[in-house]
């Protein structure tokens, strides 16, 4: 985390010295500017928060750490992330519980290439503060089966042990959700119903493990790509489908040339929208 803080400090210094542009601004769903403090105060009152990031955006990762640290001051937390697949829960928990080293975690778990710079600070925060960190995503090989074999039926023949790493079958699915329809539009000739179902099985599985590990009275913070929770769909659609009594909140990350006014296309994506200058450097 120290490297991220130093890098961002230098970036902010450059912005202050050479430009009047801000590196990011936070908005509410209607496009009204809100302070970090107000956002944090609102999120303190929730049961589950979905923090939608750009995977290579340093502002996303920095604010994830800052927000987690600040919320920890007033709430008991559980952390979870798309970036860890459910069948890697044991090595992840062993690392957080000081049973194995970071080198062993790297060997035993399928870590993302940008783990050390972008996600290790969050995992280490959990380790240092005795917090649970939940691996919520479906193992990629099963999502690939849904895509390549044209549907959820590809999962029917998995063993009982393998099915422990995915949401219970059969999977609820609504192909008319706008975000799923947009995947097909954006992919053009490369899009297919099975591609959307592969996305849905990820969303369903992440929601399943969030709720399975949620504990009453605690705040569960989940880190995921923005597209998995934008427009209150994806993961949140599955969460609400299984439990409407909990209080949810979403955060999204967007990129604009001018961060001082949220574009219409970015309004309504989440309860809080982090608008980052499009010139911001990336972590990979």
Note whether residue 279 is domain-resident: no
CA geometry: angle 250, 252, 256, nearest 5 deg: 155
CATH number, domain of 89, equals: 3.40.50.11550
Report the C-alpha gap between 247 and 36 in whole angstroms.
20
Note whether residue 201 is domain-resident: yes
Q: What is the pLDDT of residue 245?
A: 98
Q: What is the pLDDT of residue 190?
A: 67
Tokens of 25: 């601004």
Tokens of 248: 């949810």
Q: CB–CB of 276/23 below 8 Å?
A: yes
pLDDT tens readout for residues 143-153:
999 999 879 99
pLDDT tens readout for residues 4-55:
554 554 454 444 444 567 899 999 999 999 999 999 999 999 999 999 999 9
Q: CB–CB of 252/52 below 8 Å?
A: yes
Q: What is the pLDDT of residue 128?
A: 98
Q: What is the pLDDT of residue 110?
A: 97
Note whether residue 281 is domain-resident: no
Note whether residue 236 is domain-resident: yes
CB burial string 224-245: b at 16+ within 10 A, e below: bbbbbbbbbbbbbbbbeeeeee
Note whether residue 100 is domain-resident: yes
pLDDT along the chain (284 residues), means of 10: 51 48 94 98 98 97 98 98 98 98 97 97 98 98 93 95 97 94 80 89 98 98 98 98 98 97 98 97 93
Number of domains in the chain: 1
Tokens of 176: 């008319």
Note whether residue 282 is domain-resident: no
Q: What is the pLDDT of residue 17?
A: 40
Note whether residue 40 is domain-resident: yes
Domain span holding position 177: 2-273
Task: Indicate the pTM of the whole model.
Answer: 0.92
**Sign for the pseudo-dihedral over CA of 97, 99, 104, 109:** negative
Strands 24-28 and 272-277: antiparallel
Q: What is the pLDDT of residue 21?
A: 73
Note whether residue 15 is domain-resident: yes
């Amino acid at each position: 985390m120290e490297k991220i803080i130093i890098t961002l400090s230098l970036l902010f210094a450059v912005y202050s010295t050479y430009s009047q542009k801000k590196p990011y601004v936070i908005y509410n769903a209607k496009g009204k500017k809100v302070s970090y403090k107000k956002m944090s105060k609102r999120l303190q009152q929730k049961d589950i928060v979905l923090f939608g990031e750009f995977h290579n955006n340093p502002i996303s990762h920095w604010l994830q750490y800052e927000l987690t640290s600040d919320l920890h001051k007033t709430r008991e937390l559980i952390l979870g992330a798309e970036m860890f697949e459910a069948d890697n829960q044991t090595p992840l928990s062993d690392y957080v519980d000081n049973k194995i080293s970071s080198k062993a975690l790297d060997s035993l778990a399928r870590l993302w290439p940008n783990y050390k710079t972008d996600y290790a600070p969050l995992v280490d925060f959990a380790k240092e503060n005795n917090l649970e960190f939940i691996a919520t995503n479906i193992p990629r090989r099963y999502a690939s089966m849904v895509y390549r074999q044209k549907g959820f039926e590809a999962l029917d023949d998995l063993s009982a042990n393998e099915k422990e790493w995915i949401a219970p079958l059969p999977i609820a699915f609504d192909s008319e959700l706008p975000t799923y329809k947009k995947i097909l539009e954006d992919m053009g000739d490369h899009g297919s119903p099975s591609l959307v179902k592969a996305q849905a099985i990820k969303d369903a599985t992440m929601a399943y493990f969030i709720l399975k590990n949620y504990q009453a009275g605690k705040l569960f913070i989940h880190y995921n790509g923005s597209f998995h929770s934008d427009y209150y769909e994806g993961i949140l659609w599955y969460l609400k489908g299984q439990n409407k009594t909990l209080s949810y909140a979403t955060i999204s990350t967007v990129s604009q040339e001018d961060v001082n006014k949220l574009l219409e296309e970015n309004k309504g994506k989440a309860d809080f929208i982090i608008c980052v200058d499009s010139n911001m450097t990336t972590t990979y």
